[in-house]
């Protein structure tokens, strides 16, 4: 068979790849806009309560407590 016998030339896979990537990026942009404007932002986390005395720094495993006596 020659090219004149065929109705159309074979499809190039790269042509479909460019369309697929463009569609994927478009869907991602639509999703980002949707979630950015429809979902409220999360509240900022409160800092943990400071239980150590001011100026005291605890590093490593704390010392074991003495056993309770009966």
Q: 47-51 — which CB contacts under 8 Å span 24+ positions?
A: none
pLDDT for 35 equals: 87
Q: What is the distance between the alpha carbons of residues 50 and 56, in angstroms, rounded to a whole number?
A: 11
Q: What is the distance between the alpha carbons of residues 26 and 28, in angstroms, rounded to a whole number?
A: 5
> What pLDDT, in 10s, does the model give residues 3-45?
566 677 777 777 888 999 999 999 999 999 998 888 877 788 8
- Domain spans of the chain? 12-40
> What pLDDT, in 10s, does the model give residues 47-64?
766 565 566 676 777 677
* Contact present, 9 and 3 (Cβ < 8 Å): yes
* Contact present, 44 and 50 (Cβ < 8 Å): no
């Amino acid at each position: 068979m020659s090219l004149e016998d065929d109705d159309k030339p074979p499809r190039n896979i790269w042509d479909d790849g460019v369309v697929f990537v463009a569609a994927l990026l478009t869907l991602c942009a639509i999703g980002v806009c949707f979630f950015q404007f429809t979902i409220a932002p999360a509240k900022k986390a409160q800092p943990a309560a400071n239980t150590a005395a001011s100026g005291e720094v605890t590093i490593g495993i704390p010392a074991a407590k003495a056993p309770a006596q009966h």
